[in-house]
Structure 1
Amino acid sequence: MGGATLAYALRNLGARVTVIERGDFLPREYENWSPKAVFTRGRYRNSENWYDATSGPFRPGVHYYVGGNTKVFGATLPRFRETDFGAVDLHEGVSPAWPIDYRDIEPHYARAERVYRVHGTPGQDPTEPWRSGDFPFPGVAHEPAVAALADSLRGQGLTPFDMPIGVDLRTGGGCVRCATCDGFPCLLDAKSDADVCAMRPALAAGNVELLTRTTVVRLRTDPSGTRVTEAVATRDGRELRVVAERFVLAAGAVNTAALLLRSGTGSGRGLADGSGRVGRNYMVHNSTFVVAVDPRRRNDTVFQKTLGWNDWYRDEGPHGPLGNVQTLGKLQAPMARVLGDRVPAPILGALAAHSVDLYLTSEDLPTPNNRITVDGADRVVVHWSPNNLAPHRELVRRTTNAMRRSGYPVVFTRRMGVAVNSHQCGTAVMGEDPATSVVDPYGKAHDLDNLWVADSAVFPSSAAVNPGLTIAANAFRIAADGELAR
C-alpha cells in the first residue's frame, strides 16, 4: 500500500521511479475464488518462515506480490479517528502522539479515498473524524441478515454504520459482490488493492518501472555513512545493484526493519539507527475472530463485510478505550478452520452456514521489547508479548453479549496470535527528535540524506482500526509535502 501509492503520487512529478518487488504479479486464475485453494492449501501464501522468539518458526500472514497484502485484504479502508493522532490514555499506558495532526493528513485521506474507490456513508459513526468532502461513492448496502443485525444493535442503543470499503461498485464497475473477497485475490480486479488502483496507473505514466522477483538484501552507503549509494538485490539467482539518488523503503513494518538491520555497519545497530529504535516498538493490534451462530436459521449472506460499530472505541470506563468491531467476509467451511484444527469439516460447514462473523481490534502499546531482530542465520525473529489485553477482553465480552441479544445464542471466539500480522506497524517510528525516532515527520531518516520510509513502520501508535488507508494517505503526504519530490 505504501510503495505503490507513493509511486502513483510521484508519477507526474518528473522523477524517474523504479519500484522493486520481491514477488511477481499474482496470477488471475480460477483458484482465486476457491476457498480450498486459498485457505486449505494456502495457494498464495509465499512468504518464508519467520521465528517467534519463544516458540520457533511460523508462517506469517504476509504475501509477496505486486500490491503486497492488499491483494488478499478485506478492503476495509477507514480513516484513523482524529483523537488517534494525539496521546491517548489506554488501560496499560499512554499511546503516544504523532508528530502530525489529523488536519495535516486529512486532504491526503480524501485523495486516497478517491484513488482507492472508497464507498461509505458519512454521519453514521459517532467517532468519525471531520471530512473536507463526502465519500467518493455511497455506502455498500447490507444484505438482509446484516441489515437485521444492524437493526438489533440500534435497538440495544448502539450505532452501527456502513464500513468504508474499497470495491468497484461504480456504475459499470466490476464488483459482483461475491463471497470470495475478504482473504481472497479478486479474479475480476474489482477490489481496490494497491496493484490495481495505484501500481498499474503509475506504470502507465511512462516514468515508473517495476522490477519483480527482486529481493533487496542490503543497502550500502558512502564512506561517511550518511548517504545510501546502492541497493544490493538478488533477481532470479543473480546479484543486482540498483543505484539511485533517493531510496524509499516500503516493505512492511517487519521487512523494512529487517532490511535496515541487515544494512548496519556491524556496531550492533542497523542503518538509520542512531536512536536505537529500528525494529523496536512493534505493534500488530489485539484481534479476535467472533463467530456468532443461530442454529435455527441459515445466513445466506454473500457479501457480508459491510457493517461496523465503534461505540466502545473511546470508552471511558475502567478499561479505557476498547476498540472496533466489523463484520468479516462470510465464512465458508474451509475458512472456518480459525475455530480449531480438530473440528470435523461437516461441523465447520454447519456452523458457517448459520453464523455471522466478526473481527474485533483493540489498540496495543508500543514497547521497546516488542521488536524485530535478525539472527545469525539471517532469519527474521519476532519478539512479541501482547499488551493492553484487558480492554480487548472487555470488547469481546460486550460484543458477545450484543450478538446473543441479537438472536445468536452460540458465540465462538478466538484471539489471533503472532502469525496474524497484517496490521503490523511501528518499527521505524517517525518523530521530531532524532534521539527517540528513526525518521522525521515526512518519513526521511534522521541519519541519512537520501533515505525515506513510506509504510506503517513509521506509525508511532496503532490506533484500533485497519491501517491501509492511513498508509496510503501518509504516502501521498510524503510525496506532496516532504523533501522527497523536490
Structure 2
Amino acid sequence: MTSTDSDVTQHDVVDVLVIGAGPSGAVVTHTAATAGLSTLCLEQGDWVNPSDFPANHPEWELLIQHDWAHDPNVRALPSDYPVDVTESDMWPVMFNAVGGSSIFYGAEWPRLLPSDFRVKTLDGVADDWPISYDDLKPYHDEVDEFIGVSGVDGDTAYPEGLEYPLPPHPLGKPGMKAAEAANTLGWHWWPGTNAIPSQKNKTLEQCGRWGVCEWGCPQGAKASFDLIYMPQAQQAGARVETGARVRRIVTGDDGRAAGAEWVDRTGAVHFQPARAVIVCANGIGTPRLLLLSADEKHPDGLANSSGQVGRNLMLHPNCTAIGYYEDNLESWRGPAGQLIHSMQFYDTDTSRGFVRGAKLHALPTPGPLNTIETHRQLDFDDLWGPAIHDVARAASNGILWAANVEDLPEEHNRVTLSTEEFDADGLPAPKVEYRVSENTRKILKYTVDRMVELHEAAGAKQIFTQELWVDQPGHLLGTARMGDDPTTSVVDSYGRAHDVDNLYIADGSIFVTSGSANPTCTISALALRVGKKVVDDVTARKASA
C-alpha cells in the first residue's frame, strides 16, 4: 500500500521515477524526459564540480587515498553506504553522485562480442541472453553518436558495421610500443575506443590528455554522465533530487509499484508516487533495494519470486603487468582510458584449460606515487633512500597492460542484507558473498603470462605483475538477470520485472553473463532500450486511463 504515515511528506505523482543517477539512470531519465513524460531522478549522492576533482591539484595521488578513494568503505562520505565484504575475495568499488561511478571510470568503451550473448550455446556453461548482439547494436549506435565516442571504424574482432562518430585519440608512445609488441607476436590489437571526445562535443570539452581519467576529468572532457546525458535531461524538463536515499519501493493493492520512500539528509521521510519505477542503483545497490522492499506480499524481496535477486554476482576480476622501459614514453599523457586493446584471448580456446577469456588493454602510468607503489616488490635498498628518485622518475617510462577477466555467473556469489553493517539512516548495508572461481583463476594466470610476453616483446627492463586486484574494478553485474523464464530470471529482455509490470531495472544487474569487455558501453545501450520501452508502456497506459 502507499505510505500514509503522518510524518511522511507526500509528493505529486510523476510519470517516471528513476532511482540512481549513474550512467543507466541518466540515460533513462533523458529518454523519458525528451519523450515528454514527467520524470524525476532520485540520487543519494550530490552533483560534483569538476574543479573539485583531485587531479586539479599537484597532490592528487594523496587526495585519492581517502576522500576520493574508489572504495566507499574508505571514503565514508554522507552519500555513501558501507559494503560488508567479510565474506568476499574482492572489494567492490562504486561512487554515489550524479554521474555515479562514471566519474571514476576510465571511459573505455568496447561492446560485448556476439559470443557473449550465446555462452551456453557455444561453451555449454552459464546461460544465453534473451537478446543478441544485433538486437543491441542500434541502441549502441545511438548512444555512441550522442556521447561522441572516439575510435577507429572496423575493429576486426567485431562484425562489420562498427563505426564511431569521432576520430580516435593519439596512441602516444606507450600505445605505439604496445602495438608493436602485439604485431611482433601476431596478436589482434586495435586503437582504443573511448567515451572521451577527441574534439568538443555538446557539453563535453576536447580531451586534454591529462591522463587522470579514473580520478575525475578536470578538463570536463570525459563522458561522465553528469556532464553528457543528465544536463540534456534537465533541459528537457527532468528533475534531479540529490541527497535522496531510497529506502524501499512501495507496491499498491493491485500489485504494481506505487512509488518509493526516500530519506533526505535531515532524516525526513518522503513518498514519491509514480506511474513507473526504474531502478538504476548498480549491481549491488539494486538487489539491496529490492531486498529492502520486502513486505507481506513479497516476503523474499520485491520482484524475487524466482529467488534470483542478488544471485549470480559478477565482478570482472582484473589483473595487470606493468613494464618499465629505457625510453621516456611520456606515460603521463592520456587518455587512461585505453590506448589500444586486444581481443586475442577473448573467446574460448579449450587448449588453454578453461572457458571464456579476457580483454587486454594498454594504458599510461601517471603519477610517481603510483610507480613507487608498483615497485614495492623490490628489496628495501632498491626502492628507498637514494633509489626512490629513480623509481619515481620511471613513471614516465611505463606501460600498464591490464585485463578484465570474464566472470561466469554462480548462484553462490551474491548480494544479501548485512546483519552487521548499516548506513547512516539505519538501513542494512549490502553484504557481498563472492569467491573467485577456479576457472577465473586459470584465466587470470594465463592472461598475466600473456601480458608479460607483450612486455618482453617490447623490451621492458622491469616487469611487475598482479594476478588479482582485490579492489578493482567497479564492474557490478548480474544480480537481477534478464530472461524469458520468470522462474529463472528477474526481468524480461526489456528490463521489466516479471512480478511487477511497471517496475523496471536498467543497470548492470540485468546482465546474464559478464563478457570481459568494460561494461558501461553495454549498460548504456541496455538503458536506452529499457528507457524506450518505459516510454511506450507509460504512454500507452496514460492513453487508456
TM-score (norm 2): 0.82
Q: Distance in 1 between matches of 2:120 and 2:447?
A: 17
> Which residues of 2 match residues 4-23 of structure 1 at below 5 A?
4-23=26-45
Alignment of 1:325 with 2:360, yes or no, is: yes
1:369 aligned partner, one-letter code = H
Q: Distance in 1 between matches of 2:293 and 2:476?
A: 21
Contact 2:115 2:347 in 1 (8 A): no
| SS of structure 1 residue aligned to 2:322 | strand
RMSD of aligned residue pairs (Cα, Å): 2.4
1:33 aligned partner, one-letter code = N
Deviation at 1:197, TM superposition (A): 1.1
Alignment of 1:398 with 2:421, yes or no, is: no
> Which residues of 2 match residues 14-413 of structure 1 at below 5 A?
14-29=36-51, 31-34=54-57, 35-43=60-68, 45=75, 46=77, 47-54=80-87, 60-87=92-119, 94-123=125-154, 125-131=155-161, 134-170=163-199, 174-206=205-237, 208-223=238-253, 226-237=255-266, 238-265=268-295, 269-294=300-325, 296-301=326-331, 302-303=333-334, 305-316=338-349, 317-319=351-353, 320-336=355-371, 339=374, 346=389, 349-377=392-420, 378-387=428-437, 388=439, 389-413=441-465
Q: Distance in 1 between matches of 2:142 and 2:94?
A: 26
Instruction: Give the helix-richer structure, 1 or 2.
Output: 2
Contact 1:90 1:321 in 2 (8 A): no
| SS of structure 2 residue aligned to 1:290 | strand
Task: Give the structure with higher Rg (CA).
Answer: 2
Contact 1:322 1:394 in 2 (8 A): no
Aligned length: 479
Amino-acid identity (%)? 25
Could you report, residue by residue, the CA deviation over 1:313-363 in whole angstroms, capped at 9, with x for unpaired residues? 125233343211112343312334763778756575244332111221111
Q: Distance in 1 between matches of 2:122 and 2:405?
A: 10
| SS of structure 2 residue aligned to 1:246 | strand
> Which residues of 2 match residues 457-472 of structure 1 at below 5 A?
457-472=509-524
Q: Distance in 2 between matches of 1:180 and 1:164?
A: 15
Which residue is equivalent to 2:16? none
Contact 1:13 1:485 in 2 (8 A): no
| SS of structure 1 residue aligned to 2:125 | strand
Contact 2:290 2:301 in 1 (8 A): yes
The farther-off stretch of 371-380 and 167-176 is 167-176
Which residue is equivalent to 1:436? 488
TM-score (norm 1): 0.92
| SS of structure 2 residue aligned to 1:193 | coil
Contact 2:174 2:364 in 1 (8 A): no
Deviation at 1:84, TM superposition (A): 1.0
Deviation at 1:276, TM superposition (A): 0.2
Deviation at 1:229, TM superposition (A): 1.6
Which residue is equivalent to 2:502? 450
Q: Distance in 2 between matches of 1:146 and 1:280?
A: 38
Contact 1:179 1:330 in 2 (8 A): no
Q: Structure 1: which 5+ runs fail to align?
A: none
Deviation at 1:385, TM superposition (A): 0.3
The farther-off stretch of 100-109 and 273-282 is 100-109
2:218 aligned partner, one-letter code = L
Q: Distance in 2 between matches of 1:376 and 1:286?
A: 26
Deviation >6 Å, runs of 4+: 340-343
The farther-off stretch of 23-32 and 444-453 is 23-32
Q: 1:312 to 1:24 in 2, by over 3 A?
A: same
Q: Distance in 1 between matches of 2:454 and 2:244?
A: 48
Deviation at 1:217, TM superposition (A): 1.0
Q: Distance in 2 between matches of 1:33 and 1:62?
A: 21
Q: 1:171 to 1:444 in 2, by over 3 A?
A: closer
Could you report, residue by residue, the CA deviation over 1:95-153 in whole angstroms, capped at 9, with x for unpaired residues? 32100111111100001111221111122x3322332x621012212112321321232
Q: 1:89 to 1:102 in 2, by over 3 A?
A: closer
Q: 1:222 to 1:171 in 2, by over 3 A?
A: closer
| SS of structure 1 residue aligned to 2:150 | strand
Contact 1:309 1:325 in 2 (8 A): yes
Contact 2:319 2:469 in 1 (8 A): no
Deviation at 1:159, TM superposition (A): 2.5
Q: 1:412 to 1:78 in 2, by over 3 A?
A: same
Q: Distance in 2 between matches of 1:338 and 1:374?
A: 35
